[in-house]
Structures are given as C-alpha cells and as structure tokens.
Amino acid sequence: MNAAAGDRHALTQRAIESLGNRFGQRLSTGAAIREQHGRGEAFATGFPPDAVIWPENTGEVSEVLRTCHELRIPVIAYGAGTSLEGHVSAPNGGICLDMSRMNQVVEVHAEDADCVVQPGVTREALNSYLRDTGLFFPVDPGANATLGGMISTRASGTTTVRYGTIAHNVLALEVVLANGEVIRCGSRARKSSAGYDLVRLFTGAEGTLGIITEATLRLHGQPEAVGSGVCSFPQLRDAVETVIELIQSGAPLARIEFLDDVQVRACNAHSKLSLPEMPTLFIEFHGTQASVAEQFERAEEVARAHGATGLDWACDEARRAKLWRARHHAYFAALAMRPGCECVVADVCVPISGLAECVAATRADIDRASLIAPIVGHVGDGNFHVLFLLAPDDAAEHARMEKVYDSMIAHAHRVGGTCTGEHGIGLGKRDKLVAEFGEPVVALMRRLKEAWDPHDILNPGKVFRSS
Amino acid sequence: MNAAAGDRHALTQRAIESLGNRFGQRLSTGAAIREQHGRGEAFATGFPPDAVIWPENTGEVSEVLRTCHELRIPVIAYGAGTSLEGHVSAPNGGICLDMSRMNQVVEVHAEDADCVVQPGVTREALNSYLRDTGLFFPVDPGANATLGGMISTRASGTTTVRYGTIAHNVLALEVVLANGEVIRCGSRARKSSAGYDLVRLFTGAEGTLGIITEATLRLHGQPEAVGSGVCSFPQLRDAVETVIELIQSGAPLARIEFLDDVQVRACNAHSKLSLPEMPTLFIEFHGTQASVAEQFERAEEVARAHGATGLDWACDEARRAKLWRARHHAYFAALAMRPGCECVVADVCVPISGLAECVAATRADIDRASLIAPIVGHVGDGNFHVLFLLAPDDAAEHARMEKVYDSMIAHAHRVGGTCTGEHGIGLGKRDKLVAEFGEPVVALMRRLKEAWDPHDILNPGKVFRSS
C-alpha cells in the first residue's frame, strides 16, 4: 500500500467509524454484502464498496454525503442492482447507499396523473400500488428495477414507442448534492421553461452529479382496451420493414418488439410457447375497443404485404399475458440455452432506416464468430440487444464477442445511432462515449461534473474516467 | 465613463473593428438595426447590442466567439425576435448574431422522420419545405419563430398536449461553445442513454451555454384526418373541468385551447367570427377518419355533461383554418382591443387540478384591478397566458398589472406549478426563478454556466444575474 492509498484507507476507516456510530446496524462491512452491492446484473467483475448503508430518509442521505464530502470518500447509490454496465461497482471503494428502505409511494395525484415516490420503489411495486386508481406508470425496462435506478440510467424499454423513456416521465426531483445540500428541481406542471433543465440533467447522470431521494413521475391512464398480437416473417428484413412502415404511417403502437429466430427458439423452450422459429414481432395497441381493432386491421395489411405468417391478433388476456411474460423472460430464456454461461447484453439504438442492415450485419458477425447470441429489440425505437451467451472462462470466445460488439457499435455510429439506447455508459462503455461524441464533448461533461462535485466523490469513474 | 467601462468600450471597439474587417457589410453598427435587435416582442425596454453580425455558417459563428472570448465581449444570438422575456436584449452591450442567413433545411430523412436544419429556419418555412413529404414539425408556439430560438427558449404551444414540447422533438445539436469550439451532441437515434443529456441542457438555456448552429429534429406523420371543433361553457370552471376529464380519460387530444369570454370577444371582432362570448374551448383530434369521429363523439358527451353549448364539431377545412387562424391571431386581436397599448403576455403552467382555481382567481384579480386582459391557454398542459393590455405611460396601471402577475405566479407556485410554461426566464423572470427553486438551485445553474463560460460572454445576465 503506497502513501496515498494508505491515507485513503485511513480516511475510509474514519468515515466508516463515524457513520457506523450514526447508522448502527444499518451500516455493514460484511464481505458478502459488499460483494453483492459491487456488481449489477450481467457484469462479471465487480468491485465491492468498503461499506453499505441503508438510509431511511433524505436527511440521512445528506448526512452520509456531508461526511464523505469532508473525507473525500466515494458514494454510490444502489437500487435493485439490475444495471448492466457496472454502474454500482466501486473501483475506488467507498460507501454504497442501498436505497431499498426508501421505498414509499409518497403521494398520488390522480387528478393530475402524477405521483411522488422515493427512489427505492420498484416499478412493479408502483404499478401494484396504482392498480385501483385507473392510472399506471408505463416505463418498462423488463427488470423490476427501482425508479431511482431507472432515472439514473435513463431507462426505457418495451413501451417507449408510445409513452417515451423515463426522461419523458419525470417531472421533478429531489436530489442530494455532493456536499450534502438538498435541492429540488422541476415542478408538477407538465412543462416548464424555467432555467436549465436540471431534471433531465440528473436523469441519466448515473449518480455522478447527485443522489436522487425523491421523484415526481408522470402517470398515464390505464388504456380502456389493450390488444396484443404476434406474427412471423420469412426474413429479419421483412419484420423490420413492417415496423418502419407502421411507424411511418403513424400507427399508435404501444409496443413493438422484435425477436430473432434464435430468441424465439429460446422462448419456446423456456416459456412453453410454440411460435414458428422465425423472425417475429410482438405488437400491442392501447386505445378504445374500436381503435385497437382498427389498428390491428391496418397492421395486418402491412405485415401481410411483407410476407407475415402465423398472424395471431386479438389474443385473449391469458394469451397476451403469456406472450409478454415470455418477452420479459427473454433474458432468462437465453441463459437457459447455455447452462452455466455468462451473458453480456449488448445495446445499441439506430435510426430506423439503418435498423435492418445493422441487425442483419450483427447476426452475420455473430454466426461467423461461432457465438451463441439471440437478438431482441424494441424495434419501434430502433433499439436492439444481442444476448451474448459466453463460457465464463473462454477468453478467446470473449475476445470474439468483443470484436462483434465493437463492430455493432461502429455500425450504429456509422448510421447516426448511439452506443447505448437504454443501458447507459457506466464503466463498460466509457471508450464508446468518446467514440460517439469525441473528446471535447466528454471534456465538457467532465467540466460540469467538476463544477458540481469538485472532490469527485459521486460514483467516480462512471460515464467517463476521473481526471 | 469609469475606467472599467472605458476598458470595455475600448475592447468592444477592437472587437468590432476586427470583426468588421472579416464580415464587411455583414456587420452593422447602425442605430436602427441595433435598436431592432435589442428587443423581442412585447418587452418594452430593450438594450441594443454594439453591433449586429449576420453569420452564414458554423465556422463564422465560431470565429466571432473566438474573438469575443479573447476580448470578453458578450455574444447574443437573435432568431426572429419573437421572444417575450427580453432574451435578445443586450444590457451589457456586445455582439448580436442574427442567425437569419443560416436558414437552410440541410437534410430530410423521410424514412426516419427526422430532419437537420440550420437555426435560422422558421417553423413555417420548415413546414412549407416538408409539405410534400407526408411529414410535419408539430411544435407551434404561435409566432413564426426560428427553430434556434424555439430550442433556446424551450418553446411549446398549441400541440404540446399531443406532440410534446420542442425538448421532446430535438434529437441532436451542433453548438458553438464560449471559446469558439464546435461540438455535436445527441444522435439521430430516437433515444440514448449515452452520458449527460447535453441536448436537453442546451435546450432552454437561452443562449447562455452555447450558440446552436444546427439541429436535428424529430418529425411526425401528417395525420390522415384532422378534426377540429369549438364549444362554449357557462363558466370558466366548466370548460376546465371538461379538459380535466378528457385528459384523464386518455383522449388523444392534438390541441385543446381555452379562450375566456374577453378573448372570444376580441377574436370575434378581429377575425370576423361570431362565437358566443363565453368561456370557449377549441379542440382538435388527429387520427384516422374513424378514430377522429369516435373521439369527437366522446368529447361531446363529456362537454355536454359540463353544460357545453354551441357545439360545432366536424368543421370543414375552411372553418377549421379560420378558427385556428383566429386562435393564432389572439395576440393581435387582443392588441386591437386597446389601440396603441403595450401588451405584457403573462405565462404560468400548473398541474391541471389547480388550473380552474388559478385562472378564476387571476380573472378576479384582473377585474378588481380594473385591467383589460383577455386569457388564453394551452389548457391540456395546464398552461395559460394573460394578455395584459396597458397604456404605455400609465405607471399606476403597470404597477397594478405587476401585482396581479405576481399573485398569478405565487398561486402557480402554491399549487406546484411553474412561473413559465414556455416563454422562459430571460431578463424578466430572474427573481421568479429564485422564488421557484430557491437560491441554491440557481447557484447550481450558475456554477455550471461558470464552468462552461468562465468569462460570462454568452448572453450574460439572462436566466440569472451574473455573479
């Protein structure tokens, strides 16, 4: 241990001692606890924090920040641990704030279709809570993430094509800044042009600018009618062209999900479906009975023109639930294809005109590299994922995966897309952020970070490397 | 002139000389030109810049910034001059960049429903350009503003209830920073979680963080069918409750505009309509023929339940155009009520549950203060405007107006709203920004500004006072 590391170690011990006196049993330095809090889902190598604290209110978060600010100790917020780019990992150690006890729905304003939640509320818990109000929170990244985590990674998912990403559905935030100061930004108004849009700035900042302690969210009316359907296509391109045409025609799609033949095979096995093992679209419309029926009629026309078969619209509720459960379990279905595997979930988002080519090129690259990797996508947004299933210790296979993933991102950039539609940068994509925008833009982000967190204690090293 | 002012004057002269050599006839120091560029619409007292330059490309904007950065001269971008809070005023002098020559639609990607424009393109020019593509740009603040200006003030307007504000419709930006550096942020992908959301940060920053030189905008399919209608209500509250119920029922409103009886009277006179002079809603749906008809049927039910009369749905194209022209000319109709008057256009946005009370209280305040002031509103967003018609030299009347406006904002804040839904802060609402968020939040904005523009040359004194 060199001198600087020794100093840091001593300061960390001081912080833990001081906070331990304050938080008692709600601070843990147990190895298993730390280990668990240092890794998200699907990111193999995590770095454990030095301690985990379970705060119960904003004041406690502020206290932790004040201590850590004074002693220059990193602080990392932890929601449900479902992030995919190493966001919760603690490469410089420090204190993990596990937000799971701040899990109250504080207010629901049914008349305004908004609610106020603590950051540890999960999206499923929120929707259970809302069940009888006629309202729901639509953003659905698949995993049962916490809302604090979803805001911090700018999450989206299957319903974004209709309801927007989480950035469209956050109205206001309470945030604890690096020095422990508590601020509120945004309002309950549906729109505002009052100064810099701090709400959107904290949204997707991955905990590097502040810790979210409360969020006001926009809700939506539960649709009167929901219609789901599924159809298969001879070629990937036919499915994607169907999507393009539907989007262009202004069809009010609520969800439109693509599964390639490999993913359909996985879902059939895992979720006991018997879909044709071909490129497949899951489609959903929300509206009135009449408008949903009208939309499916039009969608069928478009799909058939692109060679769709096995059309199964107007599913009943049970069938609908089964289909979407299968889609949500796509990740687990993929894992089951290769027992004991590790899974790297790749994420890019492209303009829809580049989608077919980008997916097809990626599929070809995967096959050429002899990898097992189903493809799924929120294709209405031009967003798709490759689920690379890897033998944990096969370095050569990992290297081949990296190469395919690099090509996929380079391709996305070539057609005007982004290296991440919804998973964020974290540790995993810092170089890709530079590739996407160039060093000057990342430098600009860093200047902002330095202005607000001069000691670099808020989730240091995420989004970009510390200077 | 004191020493500092003398220095500043000398530096400004140096900048003008140097830039004059470069820009020739495209730099003007003529009094009338400067005067015109120092005031927006409806903001009585403007401060002229020292010179106006008409750049023709990004490189030229960058050159101006480099010179002004070196010499510490303010730079203010000017679009169409339609802003309402003194955004283009130059209280510290400096260089005005008139962006009107950067007015090219650079690219249209019909397949992706996006386009790339220079900042001086107006929204009407863009929609003319797009006419044959089947696409349109929906954000409609009424005035024929430039897109650069609309982005910088986070504009919205009549269609926001359906298509979002401009913040929802900007995908990427090219921006020249204070030191002349040119950066690009965002992408053509529909969503991204790649680092801090700089696009949303520049949007609404009122030119204080950078000068926008290119924007990639999201477009929308021209709706197959557009249905407009109008109806009158006995009381303001009945109209607002109709709106609340329609919004809550998930009705896909494309526009829903409120005009109070005073505004209807003004519009009848100015636009040769014969609407009943009562609280009135203009409603529009976009969709298929069938869905529009279905929506109007439902809207009629709701409106009738709240006492609506004079229902006139299913207007033909000519009637529809006439109604919306009247709505867009509401400002001029109001001006015509009091020839020679000055108009202050007040702007607040509240949660819809607080809307009826806030509008009614404001109407009562106006009447008590013996002011002439029609009310209009984008009520689907909870956003409304008072058009205060004032005798230019009547200080007492101005003081009564200020008091009513203060109450209106205080009321908006009490119910969780914002002091500006769409007009921005500029010079006019800097104290209201502090009232809305508190000094620490404004200090946070200021720290960000200082980190990016250390010499405070970009539209200094707007949004918040210079430190």
Residue B215, SS3 per DSSP? strand
pLDDT value at residue B291: 85
Interchain pair B417, A164: CB under 8 A: no
Q: Is residue A53 a contact partner of residue A95, using CB atoms and an 8 Å limit? A: yes
Residues 6+ apart with CB under 8 A from B22: B63
- The structure tokens listed for B379 are 């009520």
Least confident segment among A315-324, A348-357, A371-380, B76-85: A315-324
> What's the gap in Å between the CA of B450 and the closest CA on chain A?
8
Protein fold of B332-414: Alpha-Beta Plaits (3.30.70)
> What's the gap in Å between the CA of B358 and the closest CA on chain A?
13
Q: List, in sequence order, every beta strand (DSSP E) within B219-351.
A: 220-221, 225-232, 253-259, 280-287, 309-312, 342-349
Predicted confidence band of residue B43 (pLDDT cuts 50, 70, 90): low
Percentages of chain B per state (helix, strand, coil), in multiples of 5: 45, 20, 35
pLDDT at residue B3 above 80?
no
DSSP state of B122: B
pLDDT at residue A43 above 70?
no
Whether B302 and chain A come into contact, CB under 8 Å, resolves to: no
**Interval A197-218: pLDDT, tens:** 999 999 999 999 999 999 999 9
Write the residue in A111, A198, A288 that is nearest to B294 by C-beta: A288
- Percent of chain A surpassing pLDDT 70: 99
Whether A244 and chain B come into contact, CB under 8 Å, resolves to: yes
Interchain pair B188, A417: CB under 8 A: yes
Interface-testing mutation among A116, A156, A196, A292, with chain B (most B C-beta atoms within 10 A): A196
Mean pLDDT of the region A34-39: 93
Interchain pair B421, A185: CB under 8 A: no
Q: Is residue A36 a contact partner of residue A88, using CB atoms and an 8 Å limit? A: no
Residue A88, SS3 per DSSP? coil
A421: chain B residues, CB-CB within 8 Å = 189, 191-193
Backbone CA torsion sign across A355, A156, A272, A225: negative
Distance (Å, whole) CA A170 – CA A198? 11
Q: Is residue A293 a contact partner of residue A248, using CB atoms and an 8 Å limit? A: no
pLDDT value at residue A98: 98
- The structure tokens listed for B254 are 């494309």
**Interval A262-310: pLDDT, tens:** 999 999 999 999 999 999 999 999 988 888 988 899 999 999 999 999 8
pLDDT value at residue A379: 93
Mean pLDDT of the region A51-69: 98
Predicted confidence band of residue A4 (pLDDT cuts 50, 70, 90): confident
**Interval B284-317: pLDDT, tens:** 999 888 889 888 999 999 999 999 998 887 678 8
- Percent of chain B surpassing pLDDT 70: 99
pLDDT value at residue A467: 81
- The length of chain A is 467
**Interval A406-445: pLDDT, tens:** 999 999 999 999 999 999 999 999 999 999 999 999 999 9
Closest-CA residue in chain A for B198? Answer: A201
pLDDT value at residue B44: 59
> What's the gap in Å between the CA of A381 and the closest CA on chain B?
6
pLDDT mean across residues, chain B: 94
Interchain pair B154, A203: CB under 8 A: no
Query: Kind of pairing, strands B95-98 and B75-78?
Result: parallel
Interface-testing mutation among B159, B175, B190, B441, with chain A (most A C-beta atoms within 10 A): B190
Which phi and psi (to 5°) does residue B131 adopt? -45, -40
**Interval B44-76: pLDDT, tens:** 568 999 999 999 999 999 999 999 999 999 999
**Is the fold of A3-100 the same as that of A336-414?**
no
Whether A289 and chain B come into contact, CB under 8 Å, resolves to: no
Mean pLDDT of the region A154-179: 97
Mean pLDDT of the region B122-131: 97
Interchain pair A433, B168: CB under 8 A: no
Q: Which amino acid is at B365?
A: D
Question: Which of A95, A77, A81 minimizes the C-alpha distance to A40?
Answer: A81
DSSP state of A222: P
pLDDT value at residue A290: 86
pLDDT value at residue A60: 98
Interchain pair A195, B433: CB under 8 A: yes
- A225-331 — its CATH code? 3.30.70.2190
- A336-414 — its CATH code? 3.30.70.2740
**B15 or B288, higher pLDDT:** B15
SS3 for A100-129, per residue?
HHCCCEEEEECCCCEEEECCCCEHHHHHHH
Interchain pair B193, A438: CB under 8 A: no
Which phi and psi (to 5°) does residue A185 adopt? -130, 160
pLDDT value at residue A170: 98
Please write down the long-range contacts of A335-339, taking CB distance under 8 Å and 24 or more positions apart: A335/A389, A336/A266, A336/A269, A336/A270, A337/A265, A337/A266, A337/A269, A337/A372, A337/A374, A337/A389, A338/A372, A338/A389, A338/A391
Whether A410 and chain B come into contact, CB under 8 Å, resolves to: no
Interchain pair A153, B417: CB under 8 A: no
pLDDT value at residue B287: 87
> What's the gap in Å between the CA of A31 and the closest CA on chain B?
31
pLDDT value at residue A44: 60
pLDDT value at residue B247: 85
Predicted confidence band of residue B352 (pLDDT cuts 50, 70, 90): very high
Interchain pair B195, A445: CB under 8 A: yes
**Interval B213-262: pLDDT, tens:** 999 999 998 988 999 999 999 999 999 899 988 987 878 899 999 999 99
Q: How far is CA B429 from the centre of its chain?
A: 14
pLDDT value at residue A175: 98
pLDDT at residue B8 above 60?
yes
Q: Which amino acid is at B126?
A: L
- Percent of chain B surpassing pLDDT 90: 86
Interchain pair A197, B204: CB under 8 A: yes
Interface-testing mutation among A139, A191, A385, with chain B (most B C-beta atoms within 10 A): A191
pLDDT at residue A387 above 90?
yes
Residues 6+ apart with CB under 8 A from B252: A252, B162, B285, B286, B287, B291, B295
Write the residue in A201, A383, A438 that is nearest to B191 by C-beta: A383
Decide yes or no: CATH 3.30.43.10 for domain B3-100. Answer: yes
pLDDT value at residue A224: 87
Predicted confidence band of residue A1 (pLDDT cuts 50, 70, 90): low
Interchain pair A196, B201: CB under 8 A: yes
**Interval B429-462: pLDDT, tens:** 999 999 999 999 999 999 999 999 999 999 999 9
Q: Is residue B162 a contact partner of residue B283, using CB atoms and an 8 Å limit? A: no
B112: chain A residues, CB-CB within 8 Å = 351-353
> What's the gap in Å between the CA of A256 and the closest CA on chain B?
14
Interface-testing mutation among B150, B191, B302, B462, with chain A (most A C-beta atoms within 10 A): B191
Whether B165 and chain A come into contact, CB under 8 Å, resolves to: yes
Going from N- to C-terminal start, the domains of chain B cover 3-100, 103-221, 225-324, 332-414, 429-467
Write the residue in B154, B168, B287 that is nearest to A193 by C-beta: B154
Distance (Å, whole) CA A328 – CA A143? 8
Residue B217, H or E segment:
strand B211-218
Q: Which residues pair with B217 in a beta bridge?
A: B115, B170
Distance (Å, whole) CA A412 – CA A351? 9
Least confident segment among A364-368, A454-458, B140-144: B140-144
Whether A153 and chain B come into contact, CB under 8 Å, resolves to: yes
Q: Which residues pair with B105 in a beta bridge?
A: B117
Interface-testing mutation among B107, B192, B220, with chain A (most A C-beta atoms within 10 A): B192
Question: Which of A304, A201, A236 minimizes the C-alpha distance to B167?
Answer: A201
Predicted confidence band of residue A46 (pLDDT cuts 50, 70, 90): confident
Question: Thinking of the domain B103-221, which architecture would CATH place it in?
Answer: 2-Layer Sandwich (3.30)
Distance (Å, whole) CA A193 – CA B167? 10
Predicted confidence band of residue B379 (pLDDT cuts 50, 70, 90): very high
A452: chain B residues, CB-CB within 8 Å = 444, 447-448
> What's the gap in Å between the CA of A27 and the closest CA on chain B?
30
CATH class of B225-324: alpha beta
Predicted confidence band of residue A7 (pLDDT cuts 50, 70, 90): confident
Whether B411 and chain A come into contact, CB under 8 Å, resolves to: no
pLDDT value at residue B317: 84
Mean pLDDT of the region B26-36: 96
Size of interface A-B (CB pairs under 8 A): 272
Distance (Å, whole) CA A138 – CA A158? 9
Question: Which residues, numbered 316 to 375 in chain B, qualify as contacts with chain A under a Cβ-Cβ cut-off of 8 Å?
Answer: 349-353
Distance (Å, whole) CA B292 – CA B299? 10
Residue with tokens 């009705």: B251
Interchain pair A433, B204: CB under 8 A: no
Residues 6+ apart with CB under 8 A from B465: B430
Residue with tokens 């968020």: B437
Interchain pair A221, B416: CB under 8 A: no
Predicted confidence band of residue B395 (pLDDT cuts 50, 70, 90): very high
Predicted confidence band of residue A250 (pLDDT cuts 50, 70, 90): confident
